[in-house]
Chain A
Amino acid sequence: GAGVSQSPSNKVTEKGKDVELRCDPISGHTALYWYRQSLGQGLEFLIYFQGNSAPDKSGLPSDRFSAERTGGSVSTLTIQRTQQEDSAVYLCASSLVGVGTGSYEQYFGPGTRLTVT
């Protein structure tokens, strides 16, 4: 079956512009995660969705970052007024969830490489 997909694969934007990154999780996966991978900070958690709600937004670095998920499926991560320090690879992951499912691993997409110039 299809894995997690992300688009675009690469995005170059000018400082101050807004960007939207998209994630299509594995069909049927109710949990969705966004992570950021950068040279200076390694792999960092950003936000977690359970269905359409986000019980854990603790990793969002500033109020310029927001995310939503609709229909329990596709998620969009939006970065407003981008800064150079936002340059990173943004990874999305999805997983099954629920007591007794016995499956807790997160499956990762290929990522979106964001470059802010």
Chain B
Amino acid sequence: AQSVTQPDIHITVSEGASLELRCNYSYGATPYLFWYVQSPGQGLQLLLKYFSGDTLVQGIKGFEAEFKRSQSSFNLRKPSVHWSDAAEYFCAVGAGSNFGNEKLTFGTGTRLTIIP
């Protein structure tokens, strides 16, 4: 069964500083990988996804992530954070199938705090 580990429960970053959120996955085949963001009281918004091809993927709001098969990682990065980036971030892996749509397994999330 697949699993996702987000080792950092809470990260605090100064506004304008760079950000890296860690994600490690466990899955037997090529995974489908996702990063979602959740603001307080809101649902989940997709930031970016990796299915195949270029291992560096670009997403919305200036985020990017790099798939590293050898490290089973899919870390999220942003070169300069904004106060509005404060939220909870979830990494997820999809099992994939002939149809490519199946349940997502989520990490426990990383709460991002931005300080002025």
Contact = CB atoms under 8 A, between A and B. Distances in A.
Nearest to B90: A43
Contact-residue size bin, chain A (C-beta under 8 Å from the other chain) = 20 to 34
Interface in B74-116: 90, 92, 94, 96, 98-109
B17 interface: no
B34 to A, nearest CB: 7
A31 to B, nearest CB: 5
Contacts, number: 62
A4 B43 CA distance: 10
Nearest to A106: B104
Centre residue among A35, A42, A96 by max chain B CB count within 10 A: A42
Given A31-B101, A43-B90, A99-B98, A104 B44 contact: no
A77 B102 CA distance: 18
Contacts of A104: 32, 49, 51, 94, 96, 100-101
Nearest to A59: B103
Interface in A53-77: 56, 59
B45 A108 contact: yes
Nearest to A101: B100
Given A99-B98, A104-B51, A110 B42 contact: yes
Nearest to A91: B43
6 contacts: A44-B106, A45-B104, A48-B102, A56-B102, A98-B99, A106-B46
